[in-house]
Amino acid sequence: MKVGVVGLGTMGAGIAQLCVEAGIDTVGREVTADLGAKGRDRIVHFLTRKVEKGQIESFDIDRLTVTTELAGLAECDVVVEAIVEELGPKRELFAELERICRPDTVLATNTSALSVTEIAAATSSPERVVGMHFFNPAPLMPLVEIVRAELTSDAAFDTAYALGETLGKHPIRCHDTPGFVVNRVLIPLLNDCVRVLDEARVGAEDLDAGMRHGAGWPMGPCELLDLVGIDVHVHASDALYDKLREPRMAAPPRLVAMANAGLLGRKSGRGFYTY
Ligand code: CAA
């Protein structure tokens, strides 16, 4: 089996890491050689840590090929897309993947809040398009949502589900509704948490401690937003609000201001916390 991953950012690198760890031949595609090298370094770093901690015995990084050419994905059985969370670029990419890949290649998107059906509609073979939504950090979070779009075939769906299992994940089956299962619940919940900061005049640290110690969350909402990326969360909120028009789904002004100011969380060095 050969798996392609398009985009080696946080999510793509995490997904490619899972593939390498599972012993699968993996092709990672980035737009520049420099970004490709960064993705590869990230994968090597985390897999090396796992070896150091005795969680795995070894890994074979030669399973991973990094390329800037989409043509490098031609022989893949499954391609997982993890590029920028915008419909236009994703649709363009899927139309190109359809031209480049074999007719039986399953084309999966890791979108978190866009419509898989709308992405699939950019191809003339929407039956092979499916959602595979991993959670951040992909190597650590057990869940993957396998998303059936309007025209997804059983064969493509089953292939994606089986790949999720091969990668050691707990897959769940769902349909292409806004936010699928987890983000439909989590995004408005995190937005509520941010509104509470102002309503209850509580600081980020106390709110985080409240949700960790009072609700059993593994990390507080502000820590989690910093991990996910404030910009990513605002984007996902906008996409959900666009579709469902529920006020709780709209990004709170505080988060929009943070995103505009470049306070994106861990990746920019500052969000609710400073890193
Ligand atoms: N690959 C492998 N290992 C990684 C890693 C990665 N990408 N990132 C971090 N790690 C390792 C680190 O190396 C670290 O170990 P060392 O410090 O020894 O090197 C280890 O993982 C993390 O150690 P922690 O003690 O911090 O781990 P933890 O037990 O606290 O768990 C967590 C961390 C799994 C992130 C946990 O805090 C958690 O479950 N948080 C909630 C995360 C969550 O809710 N994610 C969903 C976000 S929403 C989303 O993703 C949806 C969307 O569409 C935007």
Which one-letter DSSP state was computed for residue 57? S
Of 274, 275, 237, 240, which Cα lies nearest the Cα of 254?
237
Catalytic residue list: 112, 133, 145, 183
Q: How many CA atoms lie within 13 A of 212 on its CB side?
A: 13
- Would you place residue 30 in the very low, low, confident or very high pLDDT band (cuts 50, 70, 90)? very high
Three-state DSSP class for 221?
helix
Residue 229, domain member (yes or no):
yes
In a shared domain, residues 136 and 44: yes
Mean pLDDT, the chain, rounded, equals 97
The answer to whether 105 touches 137, Cβ cutoff 8 Å, is: no
In a shared domain, residues 19 and 46: yes
In a shared domain, residues 130 and 229: no
Residues 122 and 115: their CA atoms lie apart, in Å, by: 12
In a shared domain, residues 53 and 132: yes
What percent of the chain lies above the pLDDT cut of 90? Answer: 100
The answer to whether 149 touches 130, Cβ cutoff 8 Å, is: yes
Tally of domains in the chain: 2
In a shared domain, residues 199 and 159: no
Residues 112 and 120: their CA atoms lie apart, in Å, by: 15
Question: What's the average model confidence in pLDDT over 149-160?
Answer: 98
The CA-atom distances, in angstroms, between 177 and each of 7, 116, 117, 156, 240 are: 24, 9, 10, 18, 10
Q: Which of 38, 42, 134, 140 has the most ligand 1 atoms within 8 A of CB, as the residue to mutate? A: 140
Query: Is the bond preceding residue 188 a cis peptide, omega within 30 degrees?
Result: no
In a shared domain, residues 9 and 118: yes
Residue 66, domain member (yes or no):
yes
Ligand 1, atom 23, residue with closest C-alpha: 140
The rounded Å distance from CA 219 to ligand 1 centre is 10
Residue 124, domain member (yes or no):
yes
In a shared domain, residues 190 and 261: yes
Three-state DSSP class for 96?
helix
Say which CATH number the domain at 37 has: 3.40.50.720
Helix axes 182-199 and 253-260, enclosed angle (nearest 10): 90
- Would you place residue 179 in the very low, low, confident or very high pLDDT band (cuts 50, 70, 90)? very high
In a shared domain, residues 28 and 80: yes
What is the rounded (10 degree) CA torsion for 173, 190, 142, 107? 50
Q: Which of these three, 175, 201, 227, is where a domain ends?
A: 175
Of 108, 99, 113, which Cα lies nearest the Cα of 129?
108
Residue ranges lining ligand 1, Cβ < 6 Å: 14, 17, 46, 49, 112, 135-137, 139-141, 183, 186, 218-219, 224, 228, 232, 236
In a shared domain, residues 147 and 24: yes
Q: Which of these three, 124, 143, 175, is where a domain ends?
A: 175
Residue 275, domain member (yes or no):
no
Range of the domain at 204: 185-267
Residue 180, domain member (yes or no):
no
Contacts of 218 (CB under 8 A, 6+ apart): 212
Residues 198 and 39: their CA atoms lie apart, in Å, by: 38
| pLDDT score of 128 | 98
| pLDDT score of 254 | 97
Residue 260, domain member (yes or no):
yes
Segment 231-258, tens digit of pLDDT: 999 999 999 999 999 999 999 999 999 9
Question: What's the average model confidence in pLDDT over 112-131?
Answer: 97
Segment 91-104, tens digit of pLDDT: 999 999 999 999 99
Ligand 1, atom 19, residue with closest C-alpha: 49
In a shared domain, residues 205 and 170: no
| pLDDT score of 43 | 98
Q: Which of these three, 175, 197, 227, is where a domain ends?
A: 175
| C-beta atoms surrounding 226 within 10 Å | 27
* pTM score above 0.75: yes
In a shared domain, residues 189 and 166: no
- Would you place residue 196 in the very low, low, confident or very high pLDDT band (cuts 50, 70, 90)? very high
| pLDDT score of 122 | 98
